[in-house]
Each structure stands twice: as C-alpha cells, then as structure tokens.
Structure 1
Amino acid sequence: MSFLSKTFRLVFSLVIAMVLVSRVASQSPDVDFFERKIRPLLIERCYECHSGGAKRLEGGLRLDHGSFLDKGGDSGSAIDHARRQQSLLIQAIRYEGLEMPPSGKLSAEEIQLLTEWVLLGAPWPQEPIPETKKSNKPFSIEERKSEHWCWRPIQEPILPIEDATSVTRIDAFVADKLRLLSIRPSERTDRATLVRRLHWDLLGVPPSNEVLVCWTESKEVDWYERCLDSVLADPQFGVRFARHWLDLMRYAQSRGHEFDEDIPGAEHYRDYVVRAWNMDLPYDQFVREHIAGDLIESPRRHPTRDWNESILGTGFWHLGEWVHSPVDTRKDETDRFDNMVDVFSKSFLGLTVSCARCHDHKFDPIGTEDYYALYGFLRSSHYRMYRFESDLSDRQLLRELQQTRRSFRERVVHDLGMGILDTIEFDESVASAVAKEPIAIPLNPQDTRVIFDSRSLTDELWRTNGSAFGEAIELAGFASMRLISTEQATDNNLPKALGLRWNSLPAISADPFWLQQRNLVSKVNSKNRNSQIETAHKTFSTPSFLMEEDSISFLIRGGIRAVLIVDSHRLNAGPLHGETIFESKPESADVLRWVSKHGLARYIGKRVHLEISPLDEHGLDVFQIASGRVNHRVQVDPVTKDSIQGYADNQVEPSDFQGLARRVASGRYLEIQLRKFIEGMNHESLGSTRFGSTLLEWKRAEVSLEKRMQVESRVAMAMQDGSGQNDFLLVRGNSDRPSHEVKRRFLEALGGKQEILDLPFSSGRMEWAQRMLSDENPLLARVFVNRLWHHLMGRGIVPTTDDFGVQGRAPSHPELLDYLSLQLKGNDWLSKPLIREICSSHTYQQRSTAGSVPYSSDPNNEFLAFANVRKLEGESVRDAMLLITGQLDQQLEGETVRVHLNDFLTGRGRPDKSGSLHGDGRRSLYLEVRRNFLHPMLTAFDTPTPFSSMGRRNVSNVPAQALMLLNDPLVHWLAERWAEWELKQERSDRERIESMLLAARGRIPSDGELEMAIRYIHRERMLQTVQTDEKPISVARSAEQEIWKSFAHAILNSKELLFRF
C-alpha cells in the first residue's frame, strides 16, 4: 500500500473521529450563558406579560420557550436569524419603535446581555414547552427524586458473565452491553500506542524516545503493569490531573471585568492541587478541605515543609470574577455567590443548583430555598490572605511566648512585692494629658451604640488571621491610672474611682513582637487592591453588624487601619467605596482616644463587619467600637485634676526600679512598659539587682524566641469563619426584593433538612462538609469516578459530566458507574487504585479502529467497542512541542510565568510586563492565566475561559488551529531550536529523520515515509547549493539549519502529534 493511500486513510479516520468526538461535546457555553444570564433576566423582566403563566398574554408573544421566539407574536417573529441585529426583540428593548418592557427601559447591562444572546442565535436548551396555565401540581422534592436515576442509592451490581476478552470486572460490564448489540470488542492495540496512550492520558505529554523504546522492547511478561506503575508515580501525573481539576474551579490569576485585577496568591491553590493528586489524597479529604479546610482541628501538613495544607483547599472559593467598583454591592455579592454555588454544585455534585436562583428548578428536585440556604454558608465566611508557610510554627511560638510572659510576670510581681500594688499607680503620659484635656472613656457596654466591646468578647467571636492578636482571649488590663479606693468602678462614678475603672478594661491588642513579619507574593500577581497582603498576619475581624449610622467610632490606643467590608466586597480599585478604608495615626502612641470615620451613609441598612490592623510597628489596642460619632470623654474635677497633676510633677522618671514598679499591672501592658524600660537600661545596671536580673532574663528569653520566628512567608487565599448569618430568599433572584430568611442547610434532596444549622458563632461549613460526605449522598462518588472515566476514555459513563440531572444524559453503563463508585469508597477514596484498574482493563487497551462494528449499531461508540480517538488539549499540544524539541522544563511549582503579550493582546488592565515567547519552557499549567489576556495558542485549541466549571471541554476543528501551527512565532522558534539540537548530534540524515518522526508520532516511520523525507532534505540542499564551475560546494551551516528547521516545522504540523489514538 502506498504512503499516500496510508496517509489518506489516516486523515479520513481522523475526520470521522473528530465528528464522533464533536457529537459528545459538552453542553454549549452559549446554553450555559443562557441559563446563568438570560433566563433569570427573562423571568424577572418579561414573564409577567409574555409567558404561559401570565394573567394576560400581551401581543400574542411568549418568551418562555425557544420555539416561541421564531413563532413570535402579533408583530412577527421576535428573532430575525438572517439579520439578528435588526430582530424585533432587540428593537423593542432599545425602545426603537416598540417599547419592552413598557414599565421602564432595561438597564444598559441588561440590554447588552440580551443583544449578545440574540447575536449568538438565541440559544435555548431542549426542554418541554411550559404549560399555558400555572400548574396546580405542587413542587415535590420526593416525587422528583423518585423519578430520576441519579438520586437513587449506590447499589452493589450483579457482575455480568465475563467473556474471553475480559481482563478486569470493568470489561465484563462493557462486554455485557456489547453482547446485546451483537458487537465484539476490538483487539488490544500495539505496545507503542499503549505506552503513548498512557503518557498522554496520565501525564499530558508523550514519552521520550528512550522510554518508548524501553517499554516496547521489554521482554518482561508484566511490562504493561510496570509501565503503568511508573507513569502513576511520575510527578507529572499531578500536573496533568490538576489541569483537569482547575477547569472545574475556573482557575485564573486575575479577576477579569474591566481592569483585570490580579488575584494574589492564586498559584498556591494550583500547587496544592498538584501535590494532592501526586500523593493520592483521599477524595473525601480533598472535598472536606475544599469546603472547610480552615476549620479542621488537626490539619494535614506538608510532608517536608510542615505547613498547613488543608486550609489551602478553601482558596477555590475566591477564584471567581470580581468587579472592582460595583454600584450595587449587594447585587454584586449575589452574583459572586451564584458563581460559587454554581462551581461547587457542578464540580462536586454534578448538579445545576444555580438554576434555582429565580425559581424552583424546572426539572430537578432543587428548590429555591435550597439555593439560598447555601448562601448563608458563604455569607458567614470571609476572604483572607493566609501566611501558610509560617502560621503553624507561629502558633507554636505564640504559645511558648505567652507561657514565657506569664512565668516572668509572676516573678516580677513577686520580686517587687505584692505590697507595692496598694500604692498609687498611674500612667505618666495619660496623667499629663489629664491635666490639659478631658479623658477618653468607653461607653457603657449596654449602650445601643456599642458595636464591639472588648469586655464582651468571647472565644467564639475570636476572629484573627495570624498571631499578632494572639489566638485566644487574654483580658489584659491597662493601669492607665489607679487611685486608692475600695469602691467598684462604674461609668457613673468614673472620676472618683478612675484607676480601678481603667484597670478592669481589657483590650484587643496587636503585639509589636509579631509586627516585624513580612508577607511575600508572586512577582507576577503582586498587585493588591484589597490591602490584605500587608495585613495577612495582623488583622482582627469583628462580628457582623447592621450599619445604622453614617459614622463609626473607635476607642483605641495606637495607629489604626480599619476596612469596612460591605456585602463581602473587597476590590476597592475604582471611584466607589474608597470611604470604606480608614486610617488614623496618633501624635503619641500611648494616648487613649476616640477616632471616627464619617461619610458612610450609603451603607446604612447593610450587614457589614470590620477588619482592623495596626498602622505601624508600635502595635494597636482596640477597646470599643460604636455606631455614630462618639467622643465620650470626662473632664476631671479641678481638685482631682490638681492632685493628679501634682503627683505627676513629683513622679520620678522610670529610670529606676521604683518608677517602673509603680506601673505594674496584669496583662500585656506590663510587658510593653517593661520592654520600654529594658530598652533604656544597659545590661550591667539591669543585673545589679534581683529584679533587674529577672528583667534581663526575660529580655533574653524573648530575644531567643524572636530568633526562631519565621519573618517572611508567602501568603495564599483562604476562607475564614465569620459570625453565623443566614441569607434571605430573593424574589425572582432580585437582590432588591428579599423575602423570608432561609436557614443554612444542605440540599433537602440529600438530607439537608435533617440538619438545619443555627450556629451564631460559626459558618457551619464543617457541618456542611460532613453532610456532603454522608452515605446518603450518592452523587459525590458517582460524579468523581465519572470524571476519571471521562478523562481516560474520552467520554463519561454519564456524557454530561457536570449535569447528572434531568437535562443531562443518562449513563451508558449504570451498573458500571455504581461498581466504580463502590471501588472508590472501598479503597478509602483513593484515586490511583481506580485509575490503575481502569487502565488495566481490555476496554482501555483496545485499538482505536472500529473493525467490523456495524456503524448503525453504535454510531457514537457509546458502548466502547473500540477506543476513542481524541484530539489533544491545548496544554498537551504546547507541552508536547516543547518536549520533543528539547525545551520542556518539567519543574514542579515555582514562580508563575507571565503571559506572553503579542500585539493583539490589548485593552484595559494589560500587564506592564510580558513573559517570554516560550514561557521559560515551563509546562502550560504554570503559565499565567489572565481572564482578559488568555494565551492565544491555548485558546485556539479549546482551553476553556475560566468563568465557570467546565468538566468536559469543547472540541473544535477550526482554521485558527492550523494557522496557529503554521504561523505562530513559538512554533517557528521551537522548530529552530529542534534543528539546532539535531545538528549537534552525529547522525546520518536517515537516523535524524527516524529520531524526529519517532518523537513526534510515537512510531518508527515506514520505508516510504523515510524515502519521502530524505528526498525532501536532498531537494532542499540542492536549492541551497551554490554552483561553482558546475561543482557543488558545502552548504553553509546556516542554510543546513534552515533546511532542518523547515522539516521540523512540518513535523510539528503533523496530525499524529495532535491526536491521542
């Protein structure tokens, strides 16, 4: 058979394969766009007059089913497919003649969405036509559950009879279906194809020539099992499957929208996922860490670096789009929550829960209350930047520091003598201030204006993101002034018992010991508009409260930075909401004062919380926070004032031990004063007395602890529990129309109503995670094993990997799906044993040719009579070209590589710096993912845009792909590098051609292919040869390299390099 006829057969097979693959493409992104953006808009703004449930159908037009768009109403068809821009629907919403809705024009954003939808052809999912009248049939969770397969418990299936081709139990299930169609499975494919298939599927890159030859020539009987084990143990396995997972998590390193703001620390979630896959982290633990990794009492630690791994899983919640300056912060929050719920439900459950945002789900047993019950978990949780490299060691160091201070505090009090506490004690700086102006004092804790009072704080309300504020309540008293008195201090008789009153007042304090720590972020994604990079270890969060005034006041000592978090909005990068950030630096760090932040009227009526951090290295003490403008001070009467001033004038400076002793009090204030005192003394004078020796020993102990502190640490996104809040059901999804409160719980169809959460001090996410992992949930295991099957076989047992509901496809092998689910759970939720079993099956190892299978029996190969030919993903195409040309750097983790900016990547938010053309040779997983500046080659080869979950990528065959391989500068650069390397090897033309074709195609070329390639090289040499006296002279080295570059470029355009067989 000629080389050309073989090539024709190959091309024809590929075309057929592409057609088959396209038939099982994932749900169209256009339909997803409709469900997320258009259907809610139609329901909210159009259905009242233009649906089957309308009291009176206006204009004869219905907009509640796709078929009615073409049918139209009294004025004609709503959509003109020939001239979409001139469609009546677009004219009506723009008020160009017709005016819809008549009650008021849609917003510019709504008009833009509907226009975009019409220009796409008004995509609408296949669904039954709604009834013309409102159904009297009630929405029944139980009835809908009973009608659909995915809600049924996982059952131990009966093992079918195995046939001669069966290697594993998987084959028995597949063969049983094929027998019903009178189809026999294909034969096992050749070794080279198997080795290459394993590498593509499990590593995302082809094997090197050496590896391929090693396994194809192995004499071992169990060569395949050993090859499979070696591939599963390869660290690149984690890279491959992390990329699959990141498609679900809509992973990106920028926020999109108008200015494409950075997402600092996003890459640490990516690296966490790689490590999890490589270590074969049990999937149930993986899920638990994603939902509530910050709440695990004994978190999983990094095997060598000993940091908290579990908390990094919660970073996925914060990978979505953020708007930098939303006009309506509540609507913006509901859009972000909707995306979070959508990603969570599709990824872990295979359900479209977000379809219940505006109404009960049209097909599945998911009610609107189910949807908004999940909002409560998110509303009760906060975004934070987390010092993941040092936090666990910081906590241990903090415990040792607190124990050291308690021990030395007791010794100091003992050395001074308890009797000294009966003398007059006061703070000199405050006493001096008293003589000049009134004293700032707190409000009564029962005052309705009080938002936060340190005296009322409990461990349940302790919310910090690092060690600076400690990890538990320590009621550290502040002996600002103490007058001898046995009377109890109250707000009403403060001047009489001033000292006792202050001594009983605790504060939330940022310890200067920790404020030297610095936080590190990637140089690539280092922009920060939410100010949490610098404060990732020194922020205290208040409980949520209702904003009732246009001002907030703080009773503090030291410099403060406070951020008002409104509707969880943090990206303060535009003209709006800058007033939510407040900073105040005092003239003296020791002065107690009231400071106020004004101009907050637009946030009255909203639920908010404050995140507070010290402004400088001197620390911060927060006593009280109140609503409104508060400057509560007391003017001391002249007699008391004069006596205090007189005592202050006669007070010795704290340069001797007696002066220091007069400042003794319990708690951190003593430590601050002692440190100030110690810093002013030399070691000789300190050691001259017993008291001084104790202080010197204390100082040395703290210096020793300080040396153990990890000053620098990288930071990553994570969740942090806030105070427990429920959210409200929003009528038709409208954030301006809240209905009744919905308590936090899981989906009712999965037992959610059995555990309705009423937790005032926590989000309830840990309880949510436990309910997810309950045996009552059949979806978690089914959805996950279906994803593994999809990635290995090219098609899921349930083809719609992200939708197991009524709108999704039914499983081709339901018993096999349950068998795999039970295998997963029986292996303690480990993935690699299941992957090993799938790859060991005859079904996986079949040829990719149909053989004698009648096309009509199974045209889409749903029942797996042969292996599916699959087009490679964009990342594999790029990584493979880097590998075979000798340019691939397979390092794990490390710095993200900036996106390469060509002349066509323009627009707002364009990064200041461009990455290299070749991405430093790193695997595509480590290239920067910017939502508004996506990698052109990866985009051309169907890498999804990171806006929502994409469990099954689209597969296209468009001219842009061929043009990319022909013209892209990267492909030309790689061809040139490949030619350079090949010319350095001492090889003949034949050997060089064989090596290059083997690397690209995974097989030794045929004699015909070799001869054709050799003729091409010789012909090119002749064209480059300079004739002198009719005798050829040697071709210049540069010309020779150009010849081999053109040959390398042709190979990089080979179809065999773009498909997995």
Structure 2
Amino acid sequence: MPSAARLQKRRCIAPLAILVCLLTSTTYAASPEPSSEAIAFFESKVRPIFVEHCHGCHAGDKHKGELRLDTHASLQQGGESGAAIVAGKPDESLLIEAIRYESLEMPPSGKLPDDKIAILTEWVKIGAPFPADPAGTGPALRVKRHEITDEDRSYWAFQPIAPIAPPKIAADTWSRGAIDQFLLAAMQQQELQPAAEADKATLLRRVKFDLTGLPPTAEELQQFLADERDDAYEHLVDRLLASRAYGERWARHWLDLVRYAESDGYKQDAYRPTAWRYRDYVIDAFNNDKPYTEFIRQQLAGDELRPITAENLAATGYLRLGVYEYNQRDVKTQWSVILNDLTDVTADVFLGMGMQCARCHDHKFDPILQEDYFRLQAHFTPLGWRDETLLVEPSQQEALAAWENATAPIRAAIEAIERPHLDAAARSQLSRFPEEVKPALFKQAAERTPYEEQLYQLALRQAYDDIKKVDFTKKLTGQRLEQWTALKQQLAELEKQKPQAIPTMATATDIGPVAPPTLIPGKRAAAEVLPGPPTVLVSSSSSPSNHAIVPPADSATTGRRLALANWIASPENPLTARVMVNRMWQYHFGVGLVESASDFGRLGQPPTHPQLLDYLAHQLAAHDFRLKPIHRLMVTSAAYRQASRGPELAASVARDPANKFLARMTVRRLAAEQIRDAALAVSGELDPQVGGEGAEPADPRRSIYVKVFRNKRDPLLEVFDVPEGIGSAPVRNNTTTANQALLLINGPWMLERAKVLAHKIAEHVGNDRTIQTREAYLRILSREPTEEEQKFAAEFFADIPKDAKLPYTNFCHVLMNSSEFLYVD
C-alpha cells in the first residue's frame, strides 16, 4: 500500500488544480510596475508558498489545468473558473476564502498555517504584485483558438525534416564529427571553449553506465587502459551496444515513458502476472536494434499486422499498461478514463504533443483543437482487452487439442450442471451496476452495440472475480451434487494426462470490425468524430479525416490503429524522429536539446540547438530508424568525451552555469536501478538470468526484472525517484533527501553488499590491506586509489582493533556510500 502522505498527495491533485486555476483570471489587476519593496515581499514571502504548494503541478513544463504560476504573463492570463484574486480586496477573493477554509478548503491536505494565510492575504491587499517576466518569457495566448492558421503551421516543430550540413569552423581541431561542429559554433558565439577530454577511466565508467546501466569490472578497466589503439574507445562502444545489458538499460527509459508496471494501481493494486512479456519485448527490441518505425507499429497495432506473431501480440501490451480500478461500477466513466489516458500517453510519448488541455476545449496556446484530441482518440475507441494464448509448436497444440477432445463430454456435463448457478451469480453481480448501463449488460450478445459490448466486458471483468467463487458443494444437493462430484473426480484423473498449458499474455485488439462512434462529451447533437491526425499537421487544402484506413483482409478489426501507427511512423511526420532523438540526447547528456522532452509545443521549451536536432532526426531516418547508429554518433562525439570537473572549467561554469551549450560534460547521479544494480555487480552477486516473470526485490536480478507494483515499490528504488507508473515520466525527479543517505548508510541491504564484497576481495587477494584497498577502489569506483587515499585507508585500518569483525566490510561500505559511487562524471 502507498503511504498515507502519498495517497493524500494523489487525492489533492484535482482540487489543487481547481484552486490554481482560480488563482488567476482576466480580472487580475496587479500594478504593471510594482515597487521594489512589493517585489521583495513577493519574492521572500509569497513565492515560497507558491513553490511549496503549487509549482509541483503548475510551473515550467508542468501546467495542469493549462496554468503556470511561475511567470507574470501566465498569472495575468487567468484560469477557467473565474476571478480568484481581486487585487486590493482579499475579502472578495476566492483564493483567500479557500485558504481560510471558508469555501473550497484548499489545500485539501491540510489548512495552511495562519502565518502563511496572513502573507497571502497581505499580498492580495497590496495589489498582488508580481515581478515582470524577462523579455519573451511565457507563451502568448492564441488569438484564433478555434481555427488553424498558416502561422500555426509554420511553427518550428511542424516543419519537414531536411538534410542539413554542419557549419564549417576555421582551425577546428576539436570536432570529431557533425555533432561537435554544431556545438562548437554555438559555443564560440557564447565565447566558450570546450573542455579537455576526460581520462580513459572516467570515459569507461561514463559510457558503460550510460549504455548498459552497469559499472565496469576491474578487468574491463585494465583491458581498456591497456588498449592503445586509436579507436579503442569506438571498439568499446560497439561492444557495449552489442551486449544484452544495453537493451536492459535502454528498455527502462522506454518503460518510464509508457508508465509500465505489473500491477493495476488504486487500492487493490492487483498483480498482472503476464505484464512482463511486454517488458521482455521492449528489451529484445532494443537489443535487436529494431527500427523505431516498426517498434511504433507493433505497439500501437501489432494485432492488425500480418502475419500474426507472438512478438506482435506481446507489443500490444502497450495498450494495456494504464491503471485499472477493478471495482469501479461506473463503467462508462471508467472506459472514458482508460481511453483518455491512452490518448494522452500516445500523444506525449510518440509525438511530443501535450494534448490533454484539448480534451475539454481548444488549446489556449498550441494549435490543437478539441476535435483533434478526439480525432486521435477515435483510433482507440474500438479497443477491447484480450488474454491471448501464445503461438506454440504445432505438436503442443495438437496434444492439447487431443486432450480437450477426450475430455469434452465430461467438461460439457460439468458445464451443464454449473451454468445455471454461474448465470445466477453473474446476474446478481451485474445488477449492482448503475441503472443506465444495465440494459447493455443484460442484452443478448448479438443485440449489443460495439460500445455496449465494451461496457459489458468491463463489467464482466469485475463480476468474474465473484462469479468464480461460487461454491458448488453448497449450491448443489442430492443426486445433482453426487453427479457433479463424480464428474469432477473423473476430470481430475484426466488432468494428470493434460499437456502443459499454453501460456497467455495480456493483449488488446478491436472489439470488432465496426467502431463505436467517437463523440465530444458535452456537445449536444455532436457529429461523430472520425480518426485522423491533428489539423495543424495536415495541409490547409486537405481534411484531417482523410486518413488511409484499410482494415485487415480478415475483417477482424477496424484498421484504425494501424493507420495511426503508419502515420506516426511515416518519415514525413515532422515530430516522430525529432522527439526520439531528443530523448536519446537527454539520456546521454542529462538534458534534451528540447528540455521539455514530451512537449514540443509553445508551453514547452524551444530547442537550444535546432539545427543539431534536425541533423540528428535526419540521421535517424537515414539509418532506417535504427537507434544504435545514433547512440554511436552521440557517445563517440568530442562533446560526450569532455571532462566534467577541473579548475580549468571555472570560466565555463561562470558563463554557462546550466551547461546549455555543453562546453563540458554534466555530472549526473545514477538512476535508482543503476545504484541497485551497481551494488550487486561490484559485490559479485548480480544474477545474469534474463527475461521471465518478475523477480522479488530481494532477488539479485537486475532491477528491470524486479516486480513493479504501483503502490508498493522497492524502498531503495523509491527513495531514489523511480517513477510510480501512474503517468508517463519523460524526465525523472532528481531529489536529494535525508532518507537516501539514511537508507544507504543504516539500511541492511547496502551493508550486506559491502560484507559480501569484503569477503570476496579477501578471498581473492588475501589480507594485505594495501592490496585490498586497491582492489576495493578498482571494483567500487573503477579506478586506482591515489597515494593520499592509500594513506587514509592505512590510517583507517590502524585505528581499528585487530579483533574487530567487520573492518574491511565497513571500509567497502564507506566507498559504496560515497558520492563518487553514486554519481558519474
């Protein structure tokens, strides 16, 4: 179960969004030029309250309810719920009413302290001053929100991707390729110089963690340091890209995006026993360097591809990854929530288009119509969930078919006895659903519309858990009970001869060849919305609904999702390649060329190096949308090989503290899984087993194979910011908390890894403390200890009594808690 605090946080998201939408309106009337004293009051008193209670959802590229609270422009723009601030009149301001708990009772997690209420009251009283934004801060409100103009279509992200030549730079001795030429040109404009190349040990550790998620072994370090070939580093990169560990690391990035988990979420958080098949599909796709275009098609429409394969079906697990509330009787709302979630994630992940705001109305900032949102959703409207049997060897299928034929009379007789009671249980369970859906639930299957069939299947999924609990030993009596008991005994004897059951997987396909109508909620007599791309990505002379939808020849599905997949995967789509190479850049360099990785719209950030972004996108297409060549371009660049530390970088840090122009490499903390896997790797405990059903957290498997429960995650992974799996996570949080240090220092798990490592080193090199120290540094930090560190280690051991039981364990534990272990230079 999640903590009470986390549950409380989840519950307050929607009410907080309401409050924050109220915080601004078109009647906001702060002075355009507040006094310096008023600004000082805001910065020291008011802004900290906004940051603590509001900015988590309404700042930067987070804008729930279409609202940002971190710029003057967005504050002036207002929300959808009317005026919350009447400047100069706190008693007439809804904001003040709410925080006083006189109406909305905001925040719902608990009333603000009296001093904070007094601060916000005083702020409104003096006119709600807010500092002016820097020039160009904050997106402009679209004037013609209900139509798409040529100006909208001219936005940078919607332009075709064309070949682009890197700039020519005089006397360039630094660049190793086009990436460096683009970066160096931008550096020179900022009067920056690139950093020197990092040493080989640092490079090895950096690229090994980056590509595989694992630290280098002492043997790998020695081999790489001894390799004097000019292209030794390139050979290393090729070896890492060819390793199984590459897919295990890079699949995790993708699983963050698609909110992968192996449980339903909500209160029950039921385990999904076959979800791991999708995880293994993703790992294999990365390791096999599957073209990204094929990767897209399989996930969105694997069931509509021909021939049908187990791989294609496993890929449709993407369509089943959302949270699921098993006991939600309002199945109409439940199905709407499921479709909305799938629509949102698809737009974010594949297109980098934050379309959620258009669910209720035309987007205020981006050229996305409400109809565009439901045009995208119309591709998923026919969807249904299935649990498919895997495609197996014909001999296994034949053996199972023979057993089923032999037992058919017995099973039919049992079915005849049980059916009346099962039907009665089903009627009882289905009668608990809302009156408005009961007609659909009690119709004969042939009479249901496609939409009614979807509601019926959702309801039956809930009812089944109770239906299967029917106790026939109590329901049956007399001769009927005796007959049933005898039949069950006969079947039990024959069960011993039954071939191994064919495994299943969670998949999705259309409910049939006819799609339920897609309508815009709340619009009376609204016309059906047909599937198609966003209007802004269609020429002004074409209709967005002119989508090339071709149902499969067997007429089993509508063909809508395959049409969507083909459009997204088309080389002509201006977003797909840009979004993907930007994500790759983010994972290699820490921040994307577009910082808002899942929002390429005007609420996101513009690219820092637009020509480089387009160059990489074109390169992805030129390499048949295979990712490994792009990895190689990035990690073999001079930019990637730069040092991240050193006194000579002081000028670079001063001029570009955020390192937007990449005149040095950025120091990054290991991700949660990398920390856990690294500890197991250096202790020699990491289990190399690949694939299969999720492991328990206590098992020494790689973290990607550990079961992922939404409401009960592994404590080590959770404290180091592993996503919850509720929504898409394009960028992980990167917190620094006391709990992290306490868990590593005082927790038994990390201490046990240090203990195992200490014993293995002692067995390997003996009791010589100097040699032990060197071995510990090589294994844990991937480098030799300095003379000063050897001296420190000698002093450390000298102060410990000779009969102490864990001196070397403690030494290893110290190194495994060091910043150098937890960070990559």
Q: TM-score, normalised by structure 2?
A: 0.75
Report the AA paired with residue 748 of structure 1: T
CA distance in 2, matches of 1:39, 1:713: 48
Report the AA paired with residue 266 of structure 1: A
1:515-534 residue pairs with structure 2 within 5 A?
Answer: none
After TM superposition, the structure 1 stretch with the greater mean CA deviation from structure 2, 947-956 or 64-73, is: 64-73
Q: Tell me, yes or no, if structure 1 residue 717 matches structure 2 residue 506.
A: yes
Deviation at 1:852, TM superposition (A): 5.3
Q: Sort the Cα spacing of 1:226 and 1:855 in 2 relative to 1 into closer, same or farther, 3 A.
A: closer
1:127-138 residue pairs with structure 2 within 5 A?
Answer: 137-138=144-145
Q: Deviations over 1:370-397 (max 9, x none)?
A: 111233322212111122242x848x97
Query: Is the Cα contact below 8 Å between 1:174 and 1:864 reproduced in 2?
Result: yes
Query: Is the Cα contact below 8 Å between 2:161 and 2:614 reproduced in 1?
Result: yes
Q: Tell me, yes or no, if structure 1 residue 1011 matches structure 2 residue 791.
A: yes
Indicate the SS of the match to 2:509. strand
CA distance in 1, matches of 2:330, 2:295: 35
Q: Sort the Cα spacing of 1:581 and 1:743 in 2 relative to 1 into closer, same or farther, 3 A.
A: farther
Query: Is the Cα contact below 8 Å between 1:64 and 1:130 reproduced in 2?
Result: no
1:466-485 residue pairs with structure 2 within 5 A?
Answer: none
Indicate the SS of the match to 1:719. strand
Indicate the SS of the match to 2:674. helix
Q: Deviations over 1:823-873 (max 9, x none)?
A: 111111111111111111101111113625344532211011011111111
CA distance in 1, matches of 2:153, 2:361: 21
1:697-846 residue pairs with structure 2 within 5 A?
Answer: 711-723=500-512, 724-731=514-521, 739-751=526-538, 752-755=544-547, 762-846=558-642
Q: Hey, what does 1:1049 align to over in structure 2? A: 813
Which of the residues 715, 719, 737 maps onto 1:940?
A: 719
Q: Sort the Cα spacing of 1:66 and 1:223 in 2 relative to 1 into closer, same or farther, 3 A.
A: farther
Deviation at 1:804, TM superposition (A): 0.7
CA distance in 2, matches of 1:513, 1:552: 34
Report the AA paired with residue 633 of structure 2: E
Q: Sort the Cα spacing of 1:952 and 1:550 in 2 relative to 1 into closer, same or farther, 3 A.
A: closer
Q: Tell me, yes or no, if structure 1 residue 298 matches structure 2 residue 307.
A: yes
Q: Tell me, yes or no, if structure 1 residue 161 matches structure 2 residue 161.
A: no
CA distance in 1, matches of 2:562, 2:784: 55
Q: Hey, what does 1:413 align to over in structure 2? A: none
Deviation at 1:1043, TM superposition (A): 1.1
Q: Hey, what does 2:699 align to over in structure 1? A: 920
Q: Hey, what does 2:249 align to over in structure 1? A: 240
Q: Sort the Cα spacing of 1:34 and 1:821 in 2 relative to 1 into closer, same or farther, 3 A.
A: farther
Q: Hey, what does 1:851 align to over in structure 2? A: 649
Q: Tell me, yes or no, if structure 1 residue 317 matches structure 2 residue 319.
A: yes
Indicate the SS of the match to 1:385. strand
Q: Hey, what does 2:108 align to over in structure 1? A: 115
Deviation at 1:565, TM superposition (A): 4.5
CA distance in 1, matches of 2:719, 2:22: 36
After TM superposition, the structure 1 stretch with the greater mean CA deviation from structure 2, 960-969 or 243-252, is: 960-969
Q: Deviations over 1:668-701 (max 9, x none)?
A: xxxxxxxxxxxxxxxxxxxxxxxxxxxxxxxxxx
Indicate the SS of the match to 2:508. strand
CA distance in 2, matches of 1:804, 1:323: 32
CA distance in 2, matches of 1:168, 1:136: 43
Q: TM-score, normalised by structure 1?
A: 0.59
Q: Hey, what does 2:366 align to over in structure 1? A: 364
Which of the residues 91, 106, 117 maps onto 1:75?
A: 91
Q: Which runs of 5+ in 1 are unaligned?
A: 1-28, 53-59, 81-85, 95-110, 302-307, 402-466, 469-509, 519-530, 532-545, 556-562, 588-614, 620-706, 900-918, 1026-1034
CA distance in 2, matches of 1:374, 1:117: 39
Q: Hey, what does 1:140 align to over in structure 2? A: 147
Q: Tell me, yes or no, if structure 1 residue 92 matches structure 2 residue 85.
A: no
Q: Hey, what does 2:158 align to over in structure 1? A: 151
Q: Sort the Cα spacing of 1:582 and 1:381 in 2 relative to 1 into closer, same or farther, 3 A.
A: farther
Identity %: 29
Deviation at 1:324, TM superposition (A): 1.6
CA distance in 2, matches of 1:141, 1:43: 29
Q: Sort the Cα spacing of 1:934 and 1:296 in 2 relative to 1 into closer, same or farther, 3 A.
A: same
Residues paired across the two proteins, number? 696
Deviation at 1:939, TM superposition (A): 1.2
Q: Sort the Cα spacing of 1:217 and 1:90 in 2 relative to 1 into closer, same or farther, 3 A.
A: farther
Report the AA paired with residue 355 of structure 2: V
Q: Sort the Cα spacing of 1:43 and 1:813 in 2 relative to 1 into closer, same or farther, 3 A.
A: closer
Report the AA paired with residue 825 of structure 1: A
Q: Sort the Cα spacing of 1:265 and 1:311 in 2 relative to 1 into closer, same or farther, 3 A.
A: same
Which of the residues 657, 660, 673 maps onto 1:862?
A: 660
Q: Hey, what does 1:950 align to over in structure 2? A: 729
Q: Deviations over 1:97-132 (max 9, x none)?
A: xxxxxxxxxxxxxx9xx725997999x9x996998x
Deviation at 1:758, TM superposition (A): 9.5
Indicate the SS of the match to 1:920. coil
Report the AA paired with residue 92 of structure 1: S
Query: Is the Cα contact below 8 Å between 2:84 and 2:95 reproduced in 1?
Result: no
CA distance in 1, matches of 2:694, 2:225: 36
Q: Hey, what does 2:187 align to over in structure 1? A: 178
Which of the residues 770, 788, 793 maps onto 1:990?
A: 770
CA distance in 1, matches of 2:470, 2:442: 11
More helix per residue: 1 or 2?
2
Structure 1 or 2, whichever has the larger Rg, is 1
CA distance in 1, matches of 2:166, 2:765: 57
CA distance in 2, matches of 1:616, 1:88: 65
1:625-664 residue pairs with structure 2 within 5 A?
Answer: none
Query: Is the Cα contact below 8 Å between 2:12 and 2:109 reproduced in 1?
Result: no
Q: Which runs of 5+ in 2 are unaligned?
A: 1-5, 30-75, 118-129, 412-421, 423-436, 447-451, 477-486, 492-496, 539-543
Query: Is the Cα contact below 8 Å between 1:272 and 1:309 reproduced in 2?
Result: yes
Report the AA paired with residue 675 of structure 2: V
Deviation at 1:157, TM superposition (A): 1.6
CA distance in 2, matches of 1:73, 1:1058: 51
CA distance in 1, matches of 2:191, 2:197: 19
Report the AA paired with residue 343 of structure 2: V
CA distance in 1, matches of 2:158, 2:596: 16
Q: Hey, what does 1:969 align to over in structure 2? A: 748
CA distance in 1, matches of 2:627, 2:239: 16
